[in-house]
């Protein structure tokens, strides 16, 4: 089959970018979209040109490394699939695909389709864990967990941090990502002691990274390759507000030097 690609090429963060057209005739319906990019790249290399830079690793939809926009949709046209799980049989013969990187202020572009998503790691570092040292955990079956809670925790824990939710969101909000971790740990007894603090710190970390606020547009849920439900955002908002109201995030009065003028709000 014939597939034409219009791919965003940008040599460096500073350089201007543009779409470049690549016509392919070697496409077969059994190929994945990433394999088509591989073929285009081999052709480019053989001509001595620089191949299209894109990220991918497991190619099974679990590592979260790949991801770009295909015809304006994060990870392409399939519901519940990452870009590496999209096969050419899902497109028409002769179709043109527009491929461009995930765009968000907090995801600086590195080259072509490659972006820097380390902001997501910093959100996790802010509190997305259970504080437990190695070596002295209690016997695993001493605490019981309701099967439904374990299942819901697992639904939320399935997040692969690909960033599609952010790319799809009109506000570039990381609410689905942040909410997923807050929900995963909040559904389990182990996560309880830090629940309020976790919500406060992770939500603030996301804002500090430059992600937008959530206005419940719902695009994230559609884009998510793991079908993480919008409820995780409700859970995040609940935990955040509860923590604020209970004074969990209580901030000490700032030390102010004598003679400091009043700040204008």
Partner 1 sequence: MHLDGKIPGGPLPQKWERRKLDYALVSPANRRKYRVLVVGTGLAGASAAATLGELGYRVECVFFHDSPRRAHSIAAQGGINAAKNYQNDGDSVQRLFQDTIKGGDYRAREGNVYRLAEVSLRIIDQCVAQGVPFAREYGGKLANRSFGGAQVSRTFYARGQTGQQLLLGAYQALLRQVQAGTVRLSPRTEMLDLVVAHGKARGIVARDLVTGEIRTFVADAVVLATGGYGNAYFLSTYARNSNATAIWRAHRRGAYLANPCFTQIHPTCIPVSGEHQSKLTLMSESLRNDGRIWVPLRAGDKRSPEQIPEDERDYYLERRYPSYGNLTPRDVASRAAKAVCDEGRGVGPSGLGVYLDFADAIRRLGADVIAERYGNLFDMYAEITGEDPYRAPMRIYPAIHYTMGGLWVDYDLMSTIDGLFVIGEANFSDHGANRLGASALMQGLADGYFIVPLAVGSYLARAKPPAIDDAHPAFEDARNDTAARIERLLSVRGKRTAASFHRELGKLLWDTCGMSRNREGLERALTHIPELRDRFYRELLVPGRGETLNRELETAGRVADYFELGELICRDALHREESCGGHFREEYQTPDGEALRDDEHFAYVAAWQWREGEPPILHKEPLVFEAAPPMQRSYK
Q: Which of residues 74-113 bind partner 1 (CB under 8 A)?
A: 78, 81, 85, 87, 89, 110-111
Using the rule CB under 8 A, which residue among 15, 20, 105, 125 binds partner 1?
125
Strands 114-115 and 109-111 come out as: antiparallel
> Would you count residue 64 as binding partner 1 (CB under 8 A)?
yes
Residues 159-188 that bind partner 1 (CB under 8 A): 160-161, 184-185, 187-188
Strands (DSSP E) found in 25-176: 69-70, 73-74, 96-100, 109-111, 114-115
Residues with Cβ within 8 Å of residue 106, at least 6 apart in sequence = 119, 166, 172, 174, 209, 210, 211
Choose the stretch contacting partner 1; rule: CB under 8 A; options: 69-77, 124-132, 208-216, 227-235.
Answer: 124-132
**Which residue, 155 or 219, is less far from partner 1 as judged by CB?**
155
> Would you count residue 190 as binding partner 1 (CB under 8 A)?
yes
Min. distance of Cβ 59 from partner 1 in angstroms? 5
**Which residue, 6 or 35, is less far from partner 1 as judged by CB?**
35
Using the rule CB under 8 A, which residue among 25, 139, 260, 262 binds partner 1?
139
Min. distance of Cβ 102 from partner 1 in angstroms? 12
Nearest to 6 by CA among 76, 93, 95, 66: 95
For residues 81 and 84, give the distance between their C-alpha atoms in angstroms, rounded to a whole number.
8
Spell 133-151 as b/e; 16+ CB within 10 A means b: eeeeeeeeeeeeeeeeeee
Residue matched to tokens 């830090």: 194
Min. distance of Cβ 70 from partner 1 in angstroms? 16
178 touches 212 (CB < 8 A): no
Using the rule CB under 8 A, which residue among 48, 94, 253, 261 binds partner 1?
48
Using the rule CB under 8 A, which residue among 6, 35, 221, 248 binds partner 1?
35
> Would you count residue 25 as binding partner 1 (CB under 8 A)?
no
Using the rule CB under 8 A, which residue among 20, 132, 241, 245 binds partner 1?
132
Size of the site for partner 1 (CB under 8 A): 78
- For 167-236, the DSSP string reads HHSTT-B-HHHHHHHHHHHHTSGGGSTTHHHHHHHHHHHHHHHT-B------HHHHH-TT---THHHHHH
> Would you count residue 42 as binding partner 1 (CB under 8 A)?
yes
Min. distance of Cβ 257 from partner 1 in angstroms? 28
Choose the stretch contacting partner 1; rule: CB under 8 A; options: 42-50, 167-175, 235-243, 245-253.
Answer: 42-50
152 touches 187 (CB < 8 A): yes
């Amino acid at each position: 089959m014939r597939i034409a690609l219009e791919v965003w090429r940008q040599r460096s963060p500073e350089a201007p970018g543009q779409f470049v057209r690549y016509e392919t005739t070697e496409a077969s319906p059994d190929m994945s979209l990433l394999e088509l990019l591989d073929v285009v790249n081999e052709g480019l290399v053989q001509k001595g040109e620089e191949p299209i830079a894109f990220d991918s690793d497991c190619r099974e939809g679990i590592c979260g490394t790949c991801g770009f926009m295909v015809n304006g949709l994060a990870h392409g046209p399939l519901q519940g699939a990452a870009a590496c799980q999209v096969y050419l049989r899902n497109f028409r013969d002769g179709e043109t695909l527009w491929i461009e990187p995930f765009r968000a202020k907090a995801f600086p572009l590195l080259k072509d389709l490659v972006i820097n998503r380390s902001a997501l790691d910093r959100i996790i570092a802010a509190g997305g864990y259970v504080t437990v040292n190695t070596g002295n955990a209690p016997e695993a079956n001493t605490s019981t967990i309701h099967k439904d809670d374990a299942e819901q925790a697992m639904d939320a824990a399935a997040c692969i941090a690909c960033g599609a939710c952010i790319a799809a969101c009109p506000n570039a909000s990381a609410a689905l990502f942040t909410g997923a971790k807050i929900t995963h740990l909040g559904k389990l007894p182990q996560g309880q002691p830090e629940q309020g603090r976790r919500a406060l710190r992770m939500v603030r970390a996301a804002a500090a990274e430059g992600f937008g606020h959530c206005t419940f547009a719902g695009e994230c849920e559609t884009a998510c390759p793991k079908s993480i439900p919008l409820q995780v955002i409700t859970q995040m908002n609940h935990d955040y507000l509860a923590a604020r109201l209970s004074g969990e995030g209580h901030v000490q009065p700032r030390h102010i030097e004598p003679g400091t003028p009043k700040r204008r709000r």
